[in-house]
Structure 1
Amino acid sequence: MRLGVTMFATDTSMPIAELARAAEERGFDSLYVPEHTHIPVSRRTPPAAGQDELPEEYKRTLDPLVALSFAAAATRRLRVGTGILLAAQRDPIVTAKAIATLDHLSGGRVVVGVGFGWNVEEIENHGVPYGRRREVARRNVLAMQALWRDDVAAFDGFEPSWCWPKPQNGPPVYVGGAAGPKLFAHVAEYAKGWMPIGGSGIRAALPVLREACEKAERPMAEVIPFGTRPTREKLDYFAGLGIEEAVATLPSGPADTVLPILDDYARLI
């Protein structure tokens, strides 16, 4: 079982390069960071996790690709990933170039977790109607994959084009979100796997995911429980389901808060 970690990287949290080095030194496989481009102060949308108030780190989140460049530069083998990239809120040509550049400079260590977003006003500020966010995210990911894959890439929205560098390993794309046929259709079409938050309900969801993959005539998608609070029993349970990687959540805080928890998780590796 490979174990990675995720933290809201902000301007007040433990510096991302220091966290990356600490994770690699302790044997972790990967480091993921989330994305929020901004948080409109109107707060029309309640927090996704049900809090009374949105936690401070949502307002202060670093750009994930810039942050991960520091993480990659500070390490040698640690995989660096977005968990998650808000694909509907990004220009696909610019983002494809940035991800491919990070992958090239890191020696092929990039993983792209993508999602659709939950903050209505944040999404709308990018000119995307909330009800179309899945459609726009799908289009943007497919466009990026064409740019990564093809020597002369063409897609609806841009003419046949050259775009280098090409990522070394894809890069692999994972879709985050709640289980269901709609989400699993996205996974089956254009992703290597599914990133469920936490890990509850995975056993019941696996047959639905397998059915979606069979319908798409592709291998079964990988599953990476994301943002979990790991225990030996939980990791053994995941392994029994055929899961090979989990990502543990860390608090967004200074080193003296983060490192003791990182040490506790490291005992599970």
Structure 2
Amino acid sequence: MRLGITMFTTDRTAQPHELAREAEARGFASLYIPEHTHIPVARLTPPPTGDATLPEEYARSLDPIVGLAAAAAVTERIVLGTGVMLPAQREPIVTAKALATLDHLAPGRVSLGVGFGWNVEEAADHGVPWKRRRAMAREHVLAMRELWTAEEAAFQGEFVKFDASWSWPKPAARIPVLLGGAPGPTLFAHIAEYGDGWIPIGGAGVRDAVPALRRACEEAGREMVPIVPFGTLPTPEKLEYFAGMGIEEVVLRVPPGGRDEALATLDAYARDYL
């Protein structure tokens, strides 16, 4: 079973290129970086962590694509992913170009972990109608896929419209789209339609959700997609449990910290689990 890592990278933590280089040297398979464009100060949405105050890394997040481009320059094998990016809040033509350029720098090593967001005020500043954010994220991903694959790409949707257009570079291989979120029929329908996997945060409740995800994939006429428990705090028992389910990759959470703290966590994970 492969092990990757994810960390909130900020202006106060270890830098993405340092983290990627050191993770690759220790044998980790992937590095995922989340995003928040900004956090409105006047915010009514409660923190998703359950804390009374939102941790500062949410407001200090680096742009994941820029950070992963720096990581691409100093690595050769490790998969470089967003985890999670919020496609509803991003202009899809520009984002498709940025991700294709990242793949050009790290051919076949880009993975796109996406989510639908939790912060109502943040989404509103991007003009995202909250109850339509899933539909908007879907269209943005589908439009990006069209730009990545078609020689003359065109898209006509509710939120995205462009006529036949040229856009290069094209990714070296299919960029996998991994959808995050709580299990349920809406999420699983999206995964079955346009996703390449499910990244359940922490991994709790995965076994109970597998039959529903498998049914959604079967109804869409496709094989079961991979499940990648994401942001997991590992224990030997937990990783053994995932391996027993046939899970092939788990992404471990590295607490946001400076270079020394991050490398100490990598060393501990490598010693205990690789």
Smaller-chain TM-score bracket: over 0.9
Q: Secondary structure at the match of 2:207?
A: helix
Q: Which residue matches 2:184?
A: 180
Aligned position for 2:99: 99
Partner amino acid, structure 1, of 2:56: E
**Residue-by-residue CA offset, 1:131-160 (whole Å, 9 max, x unaligned):** 110010000000000111111111110001
Question: Helix, strand or coil for the counterpart of 1:174?
Answer: strand
SS at match of 1:214: helix
The alignment's TM-score, normalised by the length of structure 2, stands at 0.97
Match of 1:64 in 2: 64
Map 1:60-209 to 2 at 5 A.
60-156=60-156, 157-209=161-213
Cα deviation for residue 227 of structure 1 reads 0.1
SS in 2 for 1:142: helix
Gaps of 5+ in 1: none
The answer to whether 1:237 aligns with 2:235 is no
Q: Which 4+ runs in 1 deviate beyond 2 A?
A: none
Q: Deviations over 1:55-107 (max 9, x none)?
A: 01001000000000011111111110000010100011000000001001112
**How far 1:174 moved relative to its partner?**
0.4
Aligned partners of 2:21 and 2:119: how far apart in 1?
32
Amino acid at match of 2:225: A
Deviates more, 1:231-240 or 1:191-200: 231-240
How far does the alpha carbon of each residue in 1:227-257 deviate from its partner, in whole angstroms, 9 at most, with x for none?
0011222112111111100000011110221
Query: TM-score, length-normalised on structure 1?
Result: 0.99
Q: 1:33 corresponds to which letter in structure 2?
A: I
Of the candidates 260, 264, 267, which is equivalent to residue 260 of structure 1? 264
Instruction: Quote the offset at 1:166 in angstroms.
Output: 0.8
Instruction: Write the distance in 1 (CA, Å) between the matches of 2:174 and 2:155.
Output: 18
Q: Secondary structure at the match of 1:248?
A: strand
Give, in angstroms, the shift of residue 17 of structure 1.
Answer: 1.1
- Match for residue 222 of structure 1 among 222, 226, 229: 226
Shift of residue 194, structure 1, vs aligned partner: 0.3
Once the 2 structures are TM-superposed, how far is the Cα of residue 46 of structure 1 from its aligned partner?
A: 0.7
Task: Give the fraction of aligned pairs with identical amino acids, expressed as a percent.
Answer: 62
Question: AA paired with 2:122?
Answer: E
Write the distance in 2 (CA, Å) between the matches of 1:165 and 1:57: 32
Equivalent residue number for residue 46 of structure 1: 46
Q: Over residues 146-205 of structure 1, what are the superposed CA-to-partner deviations in whole Å (9 max), with x where a residue is unaligned?
A: 111111111110001111111112101100000001000010000110000001100000
- Give, in angstroms, the shift of residue 264 of structure 1: 1.2
Amino acid at match of 1:94: V
Q: Which 10-residue stretch deviates more, 249-258 or 60-69? A: 249-258
User: How many residues are paired up?
Assistant: 269
Equivalent residue, structure 2, for 1:16:
16
What amino acid maps onto 1:72 in structure 2? A
Q: State the 1:40 CA deviation.
A: 0.3
Q: 2-side partners of 1:260 and 1:163: how far apart?
A: 42
> Separation in 2 of the partners of 1:74 and 1:10?
19
* C-alpha distance in structure 2 between counterparts of 1:264 and 1:208, whole Å: 35
